[in-house]
A and B are shown apart, each in its own frame.
Chain A
Amino acid sequence: EPEVTQTPSHQVTQMGQEVILRCVPISNHLYFYWYRQILGQKVEFLVSFYNNEISEKSEIFDDQFSVERPDGSNFTLKIRSTKLEDSAMYFCASTHLRATGNTIYFGEGSWLTVV
């Protein structure tokens, strides 16, 4: 079964450093998402992306965050200057159609620790 893959699985970074989390969505999918989950808390929506632009973003997704699809396969989340509170599991997701009845596929996540 096709799957969403994410790298790295775990990254430790110093506060103030830039971090790029990478995702390879399922190949024929057109809509891409980033979610995050702080330890012990619920999964939170960050941003959705379609046709090379952001279609929706949450309040969490401030100017420190950016997303990019640099080529036909990768989808990246960049955190420009990490803060301690950015420590979380970040999940990439994708779906073929942005329809209400469609399945969204998640990756295994990238665990980011900011020290």
Chain B
Amino acid sequence: DAKTTQPNSMESNEEEPVHLPCNHSTISGTDYIHWYRQLPSQGPEYVIHGLTSNVNNRMASLAIAEDRKSSTLILHRATLRDAAVYYCILIGHNQGGKLIFGQGTELSVKP
């Protein structure tokens, strides 16, 4: 399984943008880049995913490097409710939807 590398923790101020990086230098051509987050005492929650092009949804944006070896999850205006552990996960063609979680990035948001 291709691996991802994320910083252990990041801090942000409320209502400011947050850029959460993820390195995945061994990504293969058919791997999708997924982001999930886990709020305290809750189950993981889907945030966004992409393959090659940048993606936007109501929660966040995903910027994917041209060589696909890295990606950045962008929260445009962080709120206190965005404090969570964010996981960058690659899902390969033969993984059948199974998620392999790393340690993720713990995002804290200061008022």
Question: Taking beta carbons and an 8 Å cutoff, which residues of A are in contact with B?
Answer: 4, 31, 33, 35, 42-45, 48, 55-56, 91, 93, 95, 97-109
Contacts and interface: CB of A to CB of B under 8 A. Distances in A.
B111 interface: no
Interface of B: 30-32, 38, 42-46, 49, 51, 87, 91-93, 95-104
A3 B97 CA distance: 18
Contacts of B101: 42-45
B95 A100 contact: yes
A109 B43 contact: yes
A91 B43 contact: yes
B85 to A, nearest CB: 9
B97 A43 contact: no
B98 A48 contact: yes
Contact of A100 (B44, B92, B102): B92
Contacts of B97: 31, 33, 48, 95, 97-100, 102, 104
Contact of A104 (B31, B46, B92, B93): B46
Interface SS of chain B: helix, strand, loop or mixed?
Answer: loop
Contacts of A56: 96, 98
A79 B46 CA distance: 28
A98 B99 CA distance: 11
Contacts of A44: 101
Nearest to A44: B101
Given A45-B98, A48-B97, A95-B97, A100 B42 contact: no
Given A91-B43, A109-B42, A109-B43, A104 B96 contact: no
Contacts of A104: 46, 97, 99
A106 B44 contact: yes
A108 B91 CA distance: 22
B99 A100 contact: no
A42 B97 CA distance: 18
Contacts of A45: 98-101
Contacts of A101: 32, 49, 51, 91
B43 A107 contact: yes
Nearest to B48: A103
